Amino acid sequence: MKRWSRKPLTLRVLILAFVLLAALATLGNSLVVAYNVQRSALIHTTLEANRAYAAKVASSISEFLGSARRNLAYSSGILANHFHEAPVLHAEAMRLQAQDTVFNSIIIVDASGKVLQAYPDSLQIVGTTLRSESVQEALRLKQPKVSQAYESIAGNLVVLISQPITSPSGEYLGLVGGSVYILKPGVLHNLIGSHFQEEGTFAFVADANRRLLHHPDRKRIGELLGHSSTVDAALRGESGSMEVVNYKGVQMLAGYAQVPDANWAVVAQQPRDLSLSPLNLLMKDMFLGLIPASLLGVLAIWAGTLLITRPLRQLALSAEQLSNPETPRELQGIRTWYREAAAIRTALLTGVGLMQQKLGRLSQEAQSDPLTGLANRRALGVALEALESSGQAYSVLAVDIDHFKRVNDNFGHDAGDEALRRVSAVLRDSSRAGDLACRAGGEEFVLLLPGTSLETAAGIAERIRETVAATQIPVVGLVTLSIGVANLGAWALTADAVLKLADARLYRAKQSGRNRVVSSETA
């Protein structure tokens, strides 16, 4: 029976297939990364904008309340000298209500809560005693007060801003207060609505009892809120932003702040989907923009692959016929126009010795970091295995460049690469014969110090830190290092344990403020 055998794939087909897969993978990865980056940026920008918006509204409300209280304080000084003169009380109540359009009504009460004067007195409450909790609390505290929202005897939802009246001799006489009607359009609503806001962003205000004092949906004003993480945080005196789910189950990007004088919460928020709505269009434009360049790239790679694989294909055919006397002449006739093909031809002509030399050089390159020239993790692993086999003591420095992401973000990756090379040069220059400086990845380095105690290693680490901190790097300026130091001993009995301990102490150096060396558990 004749056996069927598959014909091996040619190098040309393999390269083209690999390049196509790599191009598709790169394109897909680029789109995913771009989507995630843009999504995070949009969310962060919206959260920050809403935080600033809420803080601005809270600040404006504080200024509004401060102005109202100053006006009441001025009236309090006048009333203190004429507290038992009804015409003066009436005139001052009229003047205050006419001057400060903030207040819908003015009341003047004595220390027992009896109304001495009210303007306008549409309910004829002069002479009656007010028993509302807000008035009684203000009388009891005997200090300036902004009440929480409550329902007045006329059925209006109001906030009372009050100022105590004290006689020249220090006797507490009562208070003068201005009422702000929450459900009626006024200065408070105009003040909140006057701030610039992005499309879909809105602000609401709640008092300490979680009652809505302002909301774009006027039907909700006066409503008591249920659970709200943003309102709770603002009432605790915090200011910031967070992602939350509103009472309708909609994901919102919210900023919040407190109005400290009144203990009110201001929240500015926008639906997350609305914030991310430009992202789909952006990704579509990016995808369409990448397609032409990708197609041109594939065509260029196709042509390049044909050109590159031609001499390799010829060399492969000759290699299959090394026993043929004509093979050396054929090899000489192959146009090896680039180094690798020429090296293969030379290897075929000179034999196994030159091939082994080539492989040795490739092995050495495989253990070096191409950017910094330092050893890589493979070389570090080999060195640690050798030290463990010999039983020799050693110390390890785990080194990390502080805030390296800011370097790349602010100055670009070329400047970041230069910073890595400069730090690598300091590590190399600070290494002694027998030490091994290694780039562990990214901005992380490891310095292996055979036969070195923990104290000596800590001193070396400190010198390295000081040297780097004083080294000017083009474009970037100065950078700092955080270093964790560990040695083979009671705290770490294996190479893996030493590296983990050094990393843990590096983390502590970061947590302790960066630009420092941590070499012990008590440091």
Banded model confidence at residue 469, pLDDT cuts 50, 70, 90: very high
Question: Do 173 and 109 meet the contact criterion of CB atoms below 8 Å apart?
Answer: no
pLDDT score of 26: 77
Residue-level pLDDT at 149: 86
Q: C-alpha distances in angstroms, 454 versus 175, 226, 434?
A: 72, 58, 17
pLDDT of residue 12: 67
Q: What DSSP letter does each residue of 57-115 carry, written as one string?
A: HHHHHHHHHHHHHHHHHHHHHHHHHSTT-HHHHHHHHHHHHHH-TT-SEEEEEETTSBE
User: What span, in angstroms and rounded, lies between the C-alpha atoms of 233 and 240?
Assistant: 9
pLDDT computed for residue 351 by the predictor: 44
The two structure tokens encoding residue 268:
């500015």
Beta strands across the sheet bearing 394-401: 436-441, 444-450, 394-401, 481-487, 517-518
pLDDT of 196 above 80: no
Of the candidates 117, 114, 162, the residue with the CA atom closest to the CA atom of residue 142 = 162
Is the pLDDT reported for residue 41 higher than 70?
yes
For residue 356, give both structure tokens. Answer: 């082994």
Above pLDDT 90, what percent of the chain? 37
Structure confidence at residue 355 (pLDDT): 34
Strand 251-259's sheet: what is its strand order?
A: 212-214, 202-206, 264-271, 251-259, 240-245
Which pLDDT does position 318 carry in this prediction? Answer: 66
Mean pLDDT of 77-103: 87
The pLDDT of residue 512: 92
- pLDDT score of 490 more than 90: no
- Predicted local confidence at residue 187, as pLDDT: 65
Please compute the mean of the pLDDT values over residues 356-380 and round it to a whole number: 68
Residue of higher predicted confidence among 99 and 401: 401
Region 91-111: mean pLDDT is: 86
| Cβ-count burial 343-355 (b if 16+ within 10 Å, e if not) | ebbebbeeeeeee
Give pLDDT, residue 1: 43
pLDDT at 521: 67
518 — pLDDT class (breaks 50, 70, 90) = very high
Q: Which of 214, 202, 259, 257 minimizes the C-alpha distance to 233?
A: 257
pLDDT of residue 483: 96
Rounded CA-CA distance 112/125 in Å is: 15
Which of 59, 63, 46 shows the shortest CA–CA distance to 258?
A: 59
**Residue pLDDT, tens place only, 120-175:** 877 788 889 988 888 999 999 999 999 888 887 777 788 899 999 999 999 999 99
Contact between residue 235 and residue 247 where contact means Cβ atoms under 8 Å apart: no
For the chain, give the percent of residues with pLDDT over 70.
Answer: 86
Alpha helices in 334-449 (DSSP H): 339-350, 352-366, 377-390, 404-411, 413-430
Under the banding of pLDDT at 50, 70 and 90, the label for residue 30 is confident
Pick 155 or 400 by higher pLDDT: 400
Tell me the sheet residues that pair with 492.
489
pLDDT of 191? 65
pLDDT for res 460: 94
Closest C-alpha to 263, from 213, 225, 313? 213
Q: What is the pLDDT of residues 433-445, one digit of tens each?
A: 888 999 988 899 9
CA angle 423/429/435 to nearest 5° reads 105
Q: What is the dihedral of CA 250, 254, 258, 264, to 10 degrees?
A: -20
pLDDT for res 320: 60
- For the chain, how many residues are written? 523
User: Averaged over 468-473, what is the pLDDT?
Assistant: 92
Q: Mean per-residue pLDDT for 65-86?
A: 90
